[in-house]
């Protein structure tokens, strides 16, 4: 599946990349994999939400059928 990241996360990883890991079944597991791959972003990843194109995903959401997952740091709009 393709991972898309925003804002300060891009200081630590590409803005989009493929995550090829068949052991990842839900958002919590994905979060842990991302923290292992990008240890400098661990604190920021812990504060992130995850989504599809149109929906925020819960941490126990199964993700095996998703093609795109978006990693959302805390908002700073306005």
Minimum gap (Å) between residue 24 Cβ and another protein: 21
Q: How far is the CB of 74 from another protein (least distance, A)?
A: 4
Element housing 68 (H / E): strand 68-72
Residues that bind another protein (CB under 8 A): 6-8, 11, 47, 49, 51, 53-56, 70, 72-78
Whichever of 23 and 75 has its CB closer to another protein, that residue is: 75
Of 6 and 39, CB closest to another protein:
6
Report in angstroms how near the CB of residue 56 gets to another protein at its nearest: 8
Q: Please, which residue, 15 or 21, has the CB nearer to another protein?
A: 15
d(CA 63, CA 52): 10
């Amino acid at each position: 599946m393709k991972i898309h990241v925003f804002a300060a996360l891009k200081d630590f990883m590409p803005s989009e990349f493929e995550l090829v890991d068949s052991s990842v079944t839900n958002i919590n597991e994905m979060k842990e994999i991302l923290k292992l791959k990008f240890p400098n972003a661990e604190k920021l990843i812990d504060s992130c939400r995850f989504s599809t194109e149109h929906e925020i995903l819960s941490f126990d959401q199964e993700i095996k059928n998703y093609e795109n997952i978006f990693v959302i740091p805390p908002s700073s709009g306005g």
